């Protein structure tokens, strides 16, 4: 009777999964064809095989470990699911842990620019289905994490997910990038190495084919983006062994690498010390109020210094002191 | 919904019902984000899933009991437990945990992270390291974090020394801490300030000292209305002009609060005092110019002069 079954792909994949899952020994290609004649035994053998390979790849992408066993004295060859690796292990959370999990998950789900937001939902579903009930505790009422901007252009950076996909498959991107510093839009090829997130916005770190260097690209300044569509299953590049993404994340603007490092000495006023000193990562403390910084973005430092009014004073270099006077002179 | 998502959903339904026979249809529908009617149709579809040779008991048998409107499963064909995490799911879990500062609850956060790591380790190969692909900022955490967390949890009053940027002064206040919010990488405490007799928000890094009081207080029954309190900056409007050199950056940062004017842009900020707008205008000198009100223009000029006075000795050296 099964020759009359009309199947769609979802059903076929689930049947194939059920078949392999319940099989006591490896299943040969011939057996699969015998059991799924309309699906894999029509017309040309080669296209049947390709169809099966596509289906198998889809199942593997769902997390189903399908292996090919090449046969031994005791067992015949064929496809098999490793049941030890198939299922999620038991996991139990205390109410407190669940509530923290919901707090952090909420921060990701609330923000449309986050990569993996959909996958987070399916991961949580999996946890819920072994965890006992749907009513995982709500996040603690007196805590809230808001990761992204809810308003403004930052909330509309739509490229994160495409970049994440390219990162996973190591595919080259072609982007049109609007550089604020030049006011020009250029077309560039970039091999994505990673994404950084800071104060609600995303940046792409990658190898810029044009400049032949690792560059950062602010996502909201990307006007257009295309993932190389050719040979989707084959990586286009390798990320260098010594690449360290954390070095491309900076805590303060003056750490952005725009020029060679310059040494800057600053003095903080006493009453602001407890608040400002912790904001100087990597600084060397010369005495109670004096700090030496390595600055790779002079402009970023000057903006911070000026925003502190008279509470932060640049002591050295003299050229920077002159520049502060010039800048302020322009206001008066 | 693509085929992967649909299969995932079907497997979720299978495993959930297997573990919880008789789950109410409504409840299951809500959990998978479907209407009960839609879910019933999906359950009908699931009856077609089976294994060769497709005899009657080779099929999945899942159904809604007409009497009690609950969902039962008789034959699950071994699809009765959730599948291990895929790599993207593992990354998703790691990413969300990354947003959770350990200080929130050191023990619980650590054990939660350990458990998730363990599940991930058994799901995907251990090379699935999030930090290779995505780096989130690590916020500067206040040394007072634990005390503040404790006080909030136990509804205990605290006395804090707070540097208020908008007044440019430090003062001592008694606060009933209501809730803690992490916004764009910074932590804030929202609570009732007995000194100001109003609900106020305090940025962690400006809380210079914390002393716990023995007195407790009764927090408002619903904290939701206070969750955006830190976005309320005050009633007064201040305008700053930025020339072409910085217009794009200002637009990107402030979005809706910016309008074009000439070659540049005008940013309209709301605040209680001119303090923050003054600092912003100073930091973008000479490409920023205070526009209105007059009080802002005067404040910027006065402060610019005061800062320049600090650098006067340069002239002495040069001449």
**pLDDT of B316 higher than 50:** no
Could B8 and A249 be called an inter-chain contact, meaning their C-beta atoms sit closer than 8 Å? no
Least confidently predicted of A90-94, A306-310, B236-240: A90-94
Which one has a higher pLDDT value, B125 or B137? B137
Q: Which of A38-42, B293-297, B311-315 has the highest mean pLDDT?
A: B293-297
Which residues on chain A are in Cβ contact (under 8 Å) with B284?
Answer: 303
**pLDDT bracket for residue A1 (50, 70, 90):** very low
The pLDDT > 70 percentage for chain B reads 94
Q: Chain A contact for B289, CB < 8 A?
A: yes
CA B292 to chain A, closest CA, distance in angstroms equals 15
Which residues on chain A are in Cβ contact (under 8 Å) with B108?
Answer: 94, 96-97, 100
> Helix A9-22 vs helix A45-61: angle between axes, to the nearest 10 degrees?
80
Helix (H, G, I), strand (E, B) or coil at B201: strand
Mutant choice from A93, A139, A246, A309 vs B, greatest count of B C-beta within 10 A: A309
Rounded CA gap, A203 and A105, in Å?
A: 21
Which residues on chain A are in Cβ contact (under 8 Å) with B10?
Answer: 10, 14
Which residues on chain B are in Cβ contact (under 8 Å) with A271?
Answer: 163, 170
Question: Of B279, B283, B278, which is closest to residue B293 (Cα–Cα)?
Answer: B278
E-state strands within A83-221: 143-146, 173-179, 184-198, 201-208, 213-218
Helix (H, G, I), strand (E, B) or coil at B74: strand
Least confidently predicted of A293-297, B30-34, B54-58, B277-281: B30-34
- Give me the residue from A35, A103, A167 closest to B52, CB to CB: A35
**pLDDT of A332 higher than 70:** yes
Mean pLDDT of the B254-269 span: 91
Q: Which fold has domain B3-75?
A: Arc Repressor Mutant, subunit A (1.10.10)
Model confidence pLDDT, tens digit, residues B56-65: 899 999 999 9
Rounded CA gap, B231 and B229, in Å?
A: 5
- Give me the residue from A93, A245, A271 closest to B112, CB to CB: A93
Residue of A nearest to B245 (CA): A181
pLDDT value at residue B140: 62
Model confidence pLDDT, tens digit, residues A95-148: 888 888 888 888 887 776 777 877 888 888 888 777 665 566 677 777 777 776
Which one has a higher pLDDT value, A35 or B129? A35
- Give me the residue from B4, B93, B285 closest to A306, CB to CB: B285
pLDDT value at residue B124: 66
Residue of B nearest to A59 (CA): B4
Tokens of B16: 């959930």
Q: Which of residues 17-36 of B touch A (CB under 8 A)?
A: 19-20, 27, 30-32
**pLDDT of B318 higher than 50:** no
Helix (H, G, I), strand (E, B) or coil at A194: strand
- Give me the residue from A2, A58, A86 closest to B54, CB to CB: A2
Determine how many CB atoms are found less than 10 A away from the CB of residue A286.
Answer: 13
pLDDT value at residue B85: 85
B145-231 matches B3-75 in CATH topology? no
Which one has a higher pLDDT value, A133 or A281? A281
Which one has a higher pLDDT value, A93 or B294? B294
Least confidently predicted of A161-165, A315-319, B234-238, B289-293: A161-165
Domain definitions of chain B by residue range = 3-75, 87-132, 145-231, 236-310
- 8 A C-beta contact, residue A179 and residue B118: no
Which one has a higher pLDDT value, A242 or B129? A242
pLDDT value at residue A279: 84
What architecture (CATH level 2) is domain B145-231? Roll (2.30)
Full strand arrangement of the beta sheet holding A290-295: A284-287, A290-295, A262-268, A312-316
Rounded CA gap, A56 and A52, in Å?
A: 6
Which residues on chain B are in Cβ contact (under 8 Å) with A328?
Answer: 282, 285-286, 304, 307-308
Counted across chains A and B, CB pairs separated by less than 8 A come out at 348
Per the prediction, chain B carries an average pLDDT of 88
Do the bridges between strand A78-81 and strand A66-69 make them parallel or antiparallel, or are there none, so unpaired? antiparallel
Could A36 and B52 be called an inter-chain contact, meaning their C-beta atoms sit closer than 8 Å? yes
- Give me the residue from B132, B179, B314 closest to A143, CB to CB: B179
Per the prediction, chain A carries an average pLDDT of 86
**pLDDT bracket for residue B94 (50, 70, 90):** confident
- Give me the residue from B16, B137, B184 closest to A149, CB to CB: B184
Mean pLDDT of the A167-177 span: 93
The pLDDT > 70 percentage for chain A reads 92
Domains present along chain A, CATH in parentheses: 2-86 (1.10.10), 89-147 (no CATH), 153-246 (2.30.30.100), 253-329 (no CATH)
CA A127 to chain B, closest CA, distance in angstroms equals 8
Q: Which of residues 218-247 of B touch A (CB under 8 A)?
A: 219, 223, 227
pLDDT value at residue A291: 97
CA B113 to chain A, closest CA, distance in angstroms equals 9
CA A324 to chain B, closest CA, distance in angstroms equals 8
């Amino acid at each position: 009777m099964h020759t009359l079954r009309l199947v769609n792909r979802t059903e076929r994949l689930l049947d194939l999964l059920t078949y392999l899952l319940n099989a006591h020994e490896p299943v040969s290609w011939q057996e699969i064809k015998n059991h799924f004649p309309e699906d894999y035994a029509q017309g040309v053998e080669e296209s049947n095989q390709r169809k099966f390979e596509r289906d198998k790849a889809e199942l593997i992408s769902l997390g189903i470990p399908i292996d090919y066993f090449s046969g031994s004295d005791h067992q015949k060859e064929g496809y098999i699911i490793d049941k030890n690796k198939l299922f999620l292990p038991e996991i139990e959370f205390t109410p407190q842990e669940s509530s923290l999990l919901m707090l952090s998950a909420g921060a990701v789900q609330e923000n449309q620019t986050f990569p993996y937001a959909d996958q987070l939902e399916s991961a949580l579903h999996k946890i819920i289905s072994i965890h006992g009930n749907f009513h995982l505790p709500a996040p603690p009422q007196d805590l809230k994490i808001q990761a992204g901007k809810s308003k403004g252009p930052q909330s509309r950076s739509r490229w994160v997910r495409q970049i994440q996909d390219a990162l996973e498959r190591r595919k080259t991107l072609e982007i049109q990038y609007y550089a604020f510093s030049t006011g020009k839009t250029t077309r560039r090829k970039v091999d994505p190495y990673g994404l950084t997130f800071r104060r609600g916005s995303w940046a792409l770190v990658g190898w810029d084919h044009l400049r032949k260097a690792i560059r950062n690209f602010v996502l909201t300044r990307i006007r257009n983006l295309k993932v190389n569509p050719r040979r989707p299953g084959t990586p286009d590049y390798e990320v260098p062994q010594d690449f360290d993404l954390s070095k491309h994340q900076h805590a303060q603007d003056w750490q952005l690498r725009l020029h060679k490092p310059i040494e800057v000495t600053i003095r903080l006023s006493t009453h602001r010390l407890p608040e400002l000193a912790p904001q100087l990562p990597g600084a060397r403390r010369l005495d109670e109020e004096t700090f030496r910084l390595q600055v790779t973005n002079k402009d970023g430092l000057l903006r911070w210094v000026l925003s502190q009014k008279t509470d932060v004073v640049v002591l050295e270099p003299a050229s920077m002191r002159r520049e502060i006077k010039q800048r302020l002179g322009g206001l008066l | 919904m693509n085929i992967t998502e649909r299969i995932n959903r079907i497997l979720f339904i299978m495993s959930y019902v297997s573990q919880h026979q008789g789950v109410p249809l409504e409840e299951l529908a809500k959990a998978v984000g479907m209407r009960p009617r839609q879910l019933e149709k999906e359950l009908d579809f699931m009856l077609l899933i089976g294994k060769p040779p497709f005899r009657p008991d080779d099929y999945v048998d899942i159904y809604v009991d007409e009497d009690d409107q609950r969902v039962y499963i008789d034959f699950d064909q071994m699809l009765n437990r959730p599948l291990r995490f895929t790599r993207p799911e593992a990354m998703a879990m790691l990413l969300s945990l990354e947003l959770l500062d350990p200080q929130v609850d050191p023990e619980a956060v650590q054990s939660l992270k350990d458990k998730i790591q363990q599940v991930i380790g058994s799901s995907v190969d251990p090379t699935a390291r999030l930090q290779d692909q995505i780096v989130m900022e690590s916020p500067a955490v206040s040394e007072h974090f634990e005390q503040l967390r404790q006080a909030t949890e136990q509804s205990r009053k605290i006395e804090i020394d707070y540097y208020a940027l908008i007044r440019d002064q430090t003062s001592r206040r008694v606060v009933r801490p209501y809730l803690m919010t992490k916004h764009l990488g910074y932590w804030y405490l929202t609570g009732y300030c007995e000194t100001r007799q109003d609900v106020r928000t305090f940025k962690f890094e400006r809380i210079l000292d914390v002393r716990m009081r023995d007195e407790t207080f009764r927090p408002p029954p619903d904290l939701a209305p206070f969750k955006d309190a830190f976005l309320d900056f005050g009633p007064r409007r201040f305008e700053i002009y930025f020339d072409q050199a910085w217009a794009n950056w200002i637009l990107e940062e402030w979005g809706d609060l910016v309008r074009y004017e000439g070659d540049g842009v005008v940013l309209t900020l709301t605040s209680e005092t001119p303090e923050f707008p003054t600092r912003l205008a100073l930091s973008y000198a000479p490409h920023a110019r205070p526009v209105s009100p007059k009080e802002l223009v005067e404040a910027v000029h006065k402060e610019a002069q005061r800062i320049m006075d600090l650098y006067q000795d340069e002239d002495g050296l040069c001449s």
